[in-house]
Amino acid sequence: MEEKKYTEEQERIAKIAKALGHPARIAILEFLSNQDSCFFGNIYDVLPISKATVSQHLKELKNAELIKGEIEPPKVRYCINRENWELAKKRFSDFFQKTQ
Amino acid sequence: MEEKKYTEEQERIAKIAKALGHPARIAILEFLSNQDSCFFGNIYDVLPISKATVSQHLKELKNAELIKGEIEPPKVRYCINRENWELAKKRFSDFFQKTQ
DNA sequence: TAGAATGTTCGTATATTTGCGAACAATAAA
DNA sequence: TTTATTGTTCGCAAATATACGAACATTCTA
């Protein structure tokens, strides 16, 4: 009975890494971090993909709780979820430390 | 003519993140980092997946150049690619710094 | 009320990822 | 030579991910 499986922490890191695993999402996070917040349109303007696809990537980053979005009719304002983003960074730092 | 696309650096980070985006691969890196090197069988022993699947994950980590594998008949010895791993960590640190 | 502006969702197509068992290759041992 | 040991590769199935246009919802404006 060895009950082999992944640890919670391994699952969490992998999940964050997966969310970061596409250049569009990296670009979005970089872009967002350069301003306090911005609208969907501003993000769409700098990415080489359709708005439907941008929306999808934003949704994934929201699901991973790395960003937040709130409606400001008729626009949607996005920003980094600072608290969780710091947490994510910490998880990675710890992982990196472990693997040195 | 705005030629929107992702930067080289964004592509690189996303690629590394993608390689880290599965708990099995996180587990493998953690396991490998706890020893100087080890054999396929040792890795297989601690993971909850078939050897075919372990082999596949190792292949991906090798493709991402995060680990190395060399044949020592009839075994295969795996180890972290220290040089590239340090580089990967640096890329992430820089990215994290940018997005603080 | 009709139209414009802003994003999201739906439907669809294609590609990639994940996983496994079976077959295979290479070497070592009986 | 036959058998065991150690991993990889193949073939397949199922699940996810990526991308887009079209349709839609919401709000604001004319």
Coil vs helix vs strand at B29: helix
pLDDT digits (tens, 9 = 90+) for B4-62: 799 999 999 999 999 999 999 999 999 999 998 899 999 999 999 999 999 999 999 99
Q: What is the torsion angle, in degrees rounded to the nearest 10, for the CA atoms of residue A81, residue A52, residue A27 and residue A25?
A: 60
Gap from A9 CA to chain B (nearest CA, Å): 9
Q: Looking at the partner chain, which of A11, A21, A89 has a beta carbon nearest the beta carbon of B14?
A: A21
Q: Which residues of B touch A4 (CB under 8 A)?
A: 46-48
Buried b (16+ CB within 10 A) or exposed e, A7-39: eeebebbbbbbbbbbbbbbbbbbbbbbeeeebe
pLDDT tens, A27-72?
999 999 999 889 999 999 999 999 999 999 999 999 999 999 999 9
Instruction: Check CB contact of B22 with chain A, cutoff 8 Å.
Output: yes
A44 nearest nucleotide via C1' and CA: C7
Q: Which parts of A1-100 are beta strand (E)?
A: 38-39, 67-72, 75-80
What would the pLDDT profile of B64-88 be if each residue is shown by its tens digit? 999 999 999 899 999 999 999 999 9
pTM summary value = 0.94
3-state class of B41 per DSSP? helix
